Amino acid sequence: MKLTYFLPLVLGAGLIAGCKSTSSTAGSSAKSASTEVAKSVSTLDTAALVAAFQNADTETVKVVQEVVASVSKKDWSGASAKLQSLRRIPGLTGAQADSVKALLASLSSK
């Protein structure tokens, strides 16, 4: 008879403990996911842009450096304007055009 009173109590405690650990795991994974999103939004990767234009002429490299400086200062409109000017340069390689397009897309979310 004592076991019938004790068994629901143990099962209830196990259920509550199991639910609590699952929700805290989900909460921590949601927090880590939101932290990753915040990091990716706050920093833009300009390495692909710099690498794509490393062999370009000096004027073009200067514009790329201005884009990187604008991004580091979080001057999104300045970076976007410079990227637009880069995009209009005739004879861009595929890698250069893709890196400009990718960074412009990242900036549009700012």
Domain ranges of the chain: 1-42, 44-108
What's the average model confidence in pLDDT over 14-25?
51
Residues in the chain: 110
Model confidence band, residue 1 (pLDDT cutoffs 50, 70, 90): low
From residue 83, give the alpha-carbon distance in Å to each of 16, 20, 24.
55, 49, 43
3-state DSSP helix/strand/coil percent for the chain, to nearest 5? 80, 0, 20
Q: How many separate helices (H) and strands (E) can be counted in the chain?
A: 5, 0
Global pTM value: 0.60
Phi, psi of 92 (to 5 degrees): -65, 145
pLDDT at 108: 86
Torsion 89-90-91-95 (CA) sign? positive
pLDDT digits (tens, 9 = 90+) for 42-76: 467 899 999 999 999 999 999 999 999 999 999 99
